[in-house]
Each structure stands twice: as C-alpha cells, then as structure tokens.
Amino acid sequence: MNRQIRLLGMILAVMLFALLINLSVQQVLLANSTKARAGNSRTLLEEYSRERGPILVQAAQVAKSVPTDDSLKYLRVYSDGPLYAPATGFYSMVYGATGIERAENSVLNGTGPEFFVDRLGQLFGGQQVRGGTVTLTLNPAAQEAAADGLGSSVGSVTAIDPRTGAILAMAQSPSFDPNILSSHDPKTITAYYEALESDPNQPLLNRPLVSTPPPGSTFKLVTSAAALAAGITPETPLPGPATYPLPGSTASIPNWFPGACGPNDTVTLQQALAESCNTAFAYLGNELGNDALRTQADAFGFNTSFEVPLVAATSRYPDGLDASQTAQSAVGQFNVTASTLQMALVGAAIGNAGVTMNPYLVADKRSADLQVLATTKPTEHARAMSQANATALLGMMETVVNQGTGSNAQIPGVRVAGKTGTAETGGTRPNVAWFVAVAPVENPQVAVAVAVENAGSSEVSGNALAAPIARQVIEAVLQ
C-alpha cells in the first residue's frame, strides 16, 4: 500500500511540475505573443478604457477614438474609411486589429517602451493615459485619384516617392468600411465580416501588398535592365519574329499582335520595349540566362518580404529554370509574380538613378502631446542599375509613352515614362492589365504601378485600363 501511495505521490508531483512549467511558459515566454494575438479581444477590451491615438494623413485624422456613453469608453472612427482601409486596417472588439492599427498598436495605445516617461507623467499628474499618434506617408490627393481611377474594377494601385521609398498611395478595389468592423455591436461586426469573407473579390485582402499576379510585360523592365548591364544598348538589334519557339518544347511564344516586330523581323531593344515585342524579350531572356534575370530581379526587390511596417507578400522570380521557362519568365509569365508595391519599386529604382529604396508607410510617431518619438529615415535596399543604365532605361520608357503602347499615360507639359503589360493568369480567369509609370522624367517624384485584375485579353488593355489610372495619380502628386 505504501508503495502505491508513493507512486501516486510521484505521479502527482510530476503533473504538478509539468503544470508549473506550462504556466511559466505561457505567462513568461509566450505572454507577449499571446497578448499581441489579433483575435485576443480581451486585450483590446482593456484598451477601450483609454483614448487610443489617431492615425494621420498629413494633418487629417483618418482614424481616431471618440468618447461614448456605453460600457466601452471609446469608439474607433474612420473618416473616408474604405479609402484608407488598406493602410489603417481596422480595430475590432471581435476580430482584433489589422493594418497600421495592429502594426503600430503599442504606439497608438501608449504602451510602448518609448511612452514610459510619458505614462509616468500622466499617472502622477492624475491624467488619463493616452495613446500616441502615427503619421502616414500617404498623399491624400494621390490616394483619392488611385481609388477613383479603380472605380468598381478589381485591382490595386501603389505609388512611391522614388527618392525616399515613401508610399504615396496604396489603394484597392473592392475595399471595406472599417467603421462597421470597429463598432461596439458584435452581431453587426460578425455579419459584416462574414459577408466580406464570402465575397469572391476578397475585399479584406490587402491587394497593394499581398495580391501577386504575374506582372506580364511590365517585367520587361527588369529584363531590359539585365540586358543593359550585360552591355546591350537601346540601339542593339534583336530578332523579333512572329513567334519564338520555346527551347525543348513544341510550344512557342507569339507577339501580342499578329506578325513580327520591326522590318525584316529585327527590332532594337528600345523599339522592342516600346512595342512590347514578346519574341524579342523571350530571345533576350535566353541570351542573358536565368541567373542574370534572377540577380537583376532581386536587386529590384523580388524575393524579399518588405515590412512597411505591414508585411508585404514576397514577389517571386524563381530559380532553377530551364531555357523554356526562362524565356517565359523574361516576358513576366511562367511563375513570376509581383504585387503593385513591387512593380512600383521597379519603376522607382529606375527613376532614382538605379537605387532601390526600402518602402515605408509611417512618416513619424509622436507622443500624446505631439512630441516626435521617431521619424522614418530613407534607407537603400540595393543598387539595381548603374546611373547611366537607369537613365537609358528611363528614356526607353519615355518612348513607350510617346511612341509606343503607353499613349494613355501622356500628360501635357509633363515627361512621363512607362510600361504596359497584360498578364495571363491561366484557366478561365481574366487577364491582369498592368501599367508602371515614372514622372517627371527629368526629376522623378513619383513611381506608380497599377494592376486591374479583371482585364480583357488584349495586350493594349494595359494602356486602355491601367495607364489612365497611373496618369491620374501622377497628376495628383504633381499638382
């Protein structure tokens, strides 16, 4: 009997020890991650007892907290909610926080380490603890132009200041109203969220950062950059037949228009970009090789997951491709994928004398009394091109707008550089119409990428659908 009692005691002791270890792990090692979990509404409910700081675009409060008469002391309110939703996200008692509301939560709720002195002053002064302010880099005119341009089309727009990497516009369609998700009515919140989740057009998807369809012919900018780095000039002649037979395959790549490019099936690199000649770029891809294309893509930001501080999906240029796959990748197909953030970075690097800057969405963070706590300083990601090659490619892109497929991006009195594209997505899904633009050419101040995901089948649809949106955004930035 004593032996059995001792055995039972040992078992209970082991179980107690295991319980203590589990509690220690949960409350010490995992405490911060559990507290920060998006679905942890208990933490959010605690935060409703104090005023959450605003999110600003320039001087306008696009998100703020207002006092209420119900059990929750503050309500989160969003002016122009759907317009800024891709950036702000929402702050929900049911579903947690997303977007900047989540990424900068410790600033907005005033619990970050940079607020320690501020909190002490507020507590000893008998004041209510208040959150800090986050100012975004967005340009309100550009954001509105991007959203208006998209209209009811499914797609996204991202605009960047080439000199710094600051995100000037980050718009999508369809969007959602964060005011409903941030209300104090759980039933309304749940019903709206479930409706958004069941929508096939995925309004909750942060398209500028997360949607990564094939970039189509806009990727020819990357291929052109690799060609220039290899010593090919804008005037170098290239073969431009009506079709390019894929090595090791019975298939071939045709041009988007019937026939060959240029006289005698020959076209210069500059003309090939202006006409968006598929066969010339497929040939060029095999001449350069997959390693050169991947190295060039990486320098523009492909295969990197940027945090702006929202985490962007990684745009992909694959490795280990055979000659057939390399030819397809050189024209932005096969398994090449890109967000509008990524393609805006490509245009921005070309406009920034060949230097890719790290993108960012937060301009500064301030305390409750508006003292600056942190200011984002521009940083370089990589040198993608030499300054001379970047200038040459920018000139080639200007030819696309003035004499080639990008005519709808022309702005009187402004020199605009651009590139059209239409990406095939396979099956019965519609093509994606693309446009990448940089302006003004002599002193680039904005790079913009547009992807309309429910486009038609014509290569020119990038000019018809996406280029006018890019033009509107450029005009808004330069006004």
Catalytic residues: 217
Q: Which 3-state string (H, E, C) describes the chain? A: CHHHHHHHHHHHHHHHHHHHHHHHHHHHHCHHHHHHCCCCHHHHHHHCCCECCCEEECCEEEEEEEECCCCCCEEEEECCHHHHHHHHCCEECCCEECHHHHHCHHHHCCCCHHHHHHHHHHHHCCCCCECCEEEECCCHHHHHHHHHHHCCCCEEEEEECCCCCEEEEEEEECCCCHHHHCCCCHHHHHHHHHHHHHCCCCCCCCHHHHCCCCCHHHHHHHHHHHHHHCCCCCCCEEECCCEEECCCCCCEEECCCCCCCCHHHEEEHHHHHHHCCHHHHHHHHHHHCHHHHHHHHHHHCCCCCCECCCECCCCECCCCCCHHHHHHHHCCCCCCECCHHHHHHHHHHHHCCCEEECCECEEEEECCCCCEEEECCCCEEEECCCHHHHHHHHHHHHHHHHHCCCHHHCECCECCEEEEEEECCCCCCCEEEEEEEEECCCCCCEEEEEEEEEECCCCCHHHHHHHHHHHHHHHHHHC
Q: How many CB atoms lie within 10 A of CB 289?
A: 15
DSSP-derived pairing of the beta strands 266-268 and 252-254: unpaired
Distance CA(128)–CA(117), nearest Å, equals 14
Tokens found for residue 418: 């651009």
Closest CA to 310 of 100, 156, 35, 95: 100
